Structure 1
């Protein structure tokens, strides 16, 4: 069994972000882990399950799977950050400056794209080669 602590530590070690923006409450951390597991299961056609009481998932995860899960947490962290940024600052775009708003939005979008590529690379590298 892999603990939530192992998953969260992997996220923190591999996917740095502002401490202010990272969830601190256990419920929010659980939600981030659950969401990442859902997408992990969908992408890899797995059936990993979680147990909030024991704070574990139902298997010992490989390093590759830990990395994938960590990057899924980061990916959705960035997607949510983009949504928040757009909804918060778009009404004030004229006051903040269109150029500044657009450049910050492009930066977040670039980070999202890079995170998608990273997930794809890790999945590709983790596949067994039968040649």
Structure 2
């Protein structure tokens, strides 16, 4: 079995962010891991199950799977940042004179897009191993 700690540490090593933006309780960390596992299961057609009591998933993940799962965590994190930034600042951008709102928004959208492409590339790399 792969522990939540292993999954989350892999995510942290791939996503350098301010600690203030990261989940601040175990329950929130578990929730983001479960969300990423659901995305992973959907894309890879696997049946990985999370066990919050054991703080692990029900199988030992390969290095490739752990890497892809960490990138799904990063993708969800970036999506949440994009949603938060746009919903928080768009209504007030003109009123408070927020400079470069569109360029900041575009930068976040580009990060999300790049992460999606990165995940696709990682998946293709794992498929190439089987051919």
Q: Same fold judged by TM-score > 0.5?
A: yes
Give the match's secondary structure for 2:102: helix
Q: Give the aligned CA root-mean-square deviation in angstroms.
A: 1.2
Q: 1:7-46 to 2 correspondence within 5 Å?
A: 7-46=7-46
Return the alpha-carbon distance in structure 2 between the equivalents of residues 13 and 99 of structure 1: 31
TM-score (norm 1): 0.94
Q: Any unmatched runs of 5+ in structure 2?
A: none
TM-score (norm 2): 0.94
Aligned length: 130
Pair 108,50 (structure 1): closer, same or farther in 2 beyond 3 Å: same
Return the alpha-carbon distance in structure 2 between the equivalents of residues 34 and 91 of structure 1: 32
**Bigger mean CA deviation after superposition, 31-40 or 82-91:** 82-91
Q: Deviations over 1:52-105 (max 9, x none)?
A: 000010111011111111110110111111111111101111134476110000
Q: Any unmatched runs of 5+ in structure 1?
A: none
